[in-house]
Each structure stands twice: as C-alpha cells, then as structure tokens.
Chains A and B, each alone.
Chain A
Amino acid sequence: DIQMTQSPSSLSASVGDRVTITCRASRSVGTNLNWYQQKPGKVPKVLIYAASSLQSGVPSRFSGGGSGTYFTLTISSLQPEDFATYYCQQSYSTPHTFGQGTEVEFK
C-alpha cells in the first residue's frame, strides 16, 4: 500500500498569510493526488485534483503542485473561511490512502 504523509500536522496562521502544506507519498503516484478540505462538523470537499487542477467553484487562492512523491497545497492569502483540516489522497492505486490531515488554526 502507498503511505501518504502530510506536514505539518497542524499550523497556526493569520488572515492574509500564505500557507503551504506538503504531502509525500511512499512511492510515485504520478499526478494522481487530490486535496480535500473538511470544516468541523462538515463533509469533506475536494479542492484540487490531479495534483494541480482546481475543482469547479473553488477559489483561485488555492493551488496545488508536485508530481511523483512530493506535493504541495498552497493558500495564497488565508481567509477566515479557510480555517479547516486539509487531507491529501492518492488515487493512483487502491487502497486510495489519505494523509493524516493538516489542521489550519487561527493564530
């Protein structure tokens, strides 16, 4: 199975900050990497798919990059509604493993 490791596990940031979350795969997943956002008490929502494609309706301040084993999710200017937990997931092979999550907290 492919293991997904996110860093950091949590971070504190302020509105307007640029935030970057990383995700590493235990072996190459090509660009078959997705990012989800989950707010407390809510269902996960896809932000980025295929490593860098923005899901329809997602603000352009979110961007994704990387390929192979190293990926990033960047929020260019953090907004109040962005405080949430973010998960990466590989869809290269089953099981479609998730990272452990990164909680973005208010500083």
Chain B
Amino acid sequence: EVQLVESGGGLVQPGGSLRLSCAASGFTFADYAMHWVRQAPGKGLDWVSAVSWNSGNRAYADSVNGRFTISRDNAKNSLFLQMNSLTSEDTAFYYCAKADRGEVPSDHLDHWGQGTLVTVSS
C-alpha cells in the first residue's frame, strides 16, 4: 500500500523558513516524480512544485520560485520542500503527491499524503 506521510509543518513568523519532509513507502520511490500541492484553509488546490525521479528536472509555481526548493533522497525514500522568506500567503496545508510516472511534466497525481499545516503569522 502506498503511503505518504508529511511532517515539518508548524507556526513560523513572516520572513522565516521551514523545511517540510515526506516519507514514502509501498512503492519504488526512485521511479516516480513527486509533487507538492498546497491548499489554504477553505480554498482551492494550488500546485507548488515537482521533481523528477532522478532530480534532473525541477519545476516551481511562479509564486514560490526563488523562495522554495524541492529535493529528494531516493536512498531514504524521502521528499523535501525548503521554504524561505515565508509570507502569510504561504499559509496552507501542504500535500506531497506521487505522480504516475518519473518525468516532469508529469501526468496525474495518483496518491496523496494527509498534509501538514504551515501557518505564517507573527
């Protein structure tokens, strides 16, 4: 069974940094692209970032480009999102999601984690 478990969320002040992690199991992590998608409370889905199977291709939403960095460790079946210069606009649940193939652009997201909440507030 595919499992994706996010961690690292919490309360951070504007301008601060946070690093999210996603632990994957139940599939060959190294074969698939991975994505981050966020959702502000009561709002819609907002695609954030993706990384290809071998980290050769990374993509970002305009709103986070230059502030967020996606990475992965295939040996540890883990996905990361380093978030810097956070603003209140970044407050959201952050989901990691598995793509159905290894490359970016990817196809659909076939498994999602339960999400971790990031709150940016003073």
A residues whose Cβ falls under 8 Å from a Cβ of B: 1, 32, 34, 36, 38, 43-46, 49-50, 55, 85, 87, 89, 91-101
Q: Across the interface, name the chain A residue whose C-beta is closest to B99.
A: A91
24 example contacts (A-B, Cβ-Cβ < 8 A) are as follows A36-B45, A38-B45, A44-B37, A44-B45, A45-B112, A49-B107, A49-B108, A50-B108, A85-B44, A89-B47, A91-B106, A92-B105, A94-B105, A95-B59, A95-B60, A95-B61, A95-B62, A96-B47, A96-B106, A97-B47, A98-B46, A98-B47, A99-B44, A101-B45
Min CB gap B24→A, angstroms: 15
| The 3 nearest A-B residue pairs measured at CB | A94-B59, A49-B108, A34-B108
Asked whether B108 lies within 8 Å of A91 as measured between CB atoms, the reply is: yes
Mask for B88-122, Cβ within 8 A of A = 1, else 0?
A: 00000001000010001111111011110000000
Verify if B72 is at the interface (C-beta below 8 Å from A).
no
The A interface is mostly helix, strand or loop, or mixed, namely: loop
B contacts with A, residue count (CB < 8 A): 24
Partner pick for B107 among A44, A45, A50, A93, CB 8 A cutoff: A50
CB < 8 Å A-B pair total: 69
Bound CA–CA A91/B105 (angstroms): 6
Verify if B22 is at the interface (C-beta below 8 Å from A).
no
Min CB gap A98→B, angstroms: 4
Asked whether A87 lies within 8 Å of B35 as measured between CB atoms, the reply is: no
Verify if B50 is at the interface (C-beta below 8 Å from A).
yes
Bound CA–CA A34/B35 (angstroms): 15
Which residues of chain A are within 8 angstroms of B112 by Cβ–Cβ distance?
A: 43-45
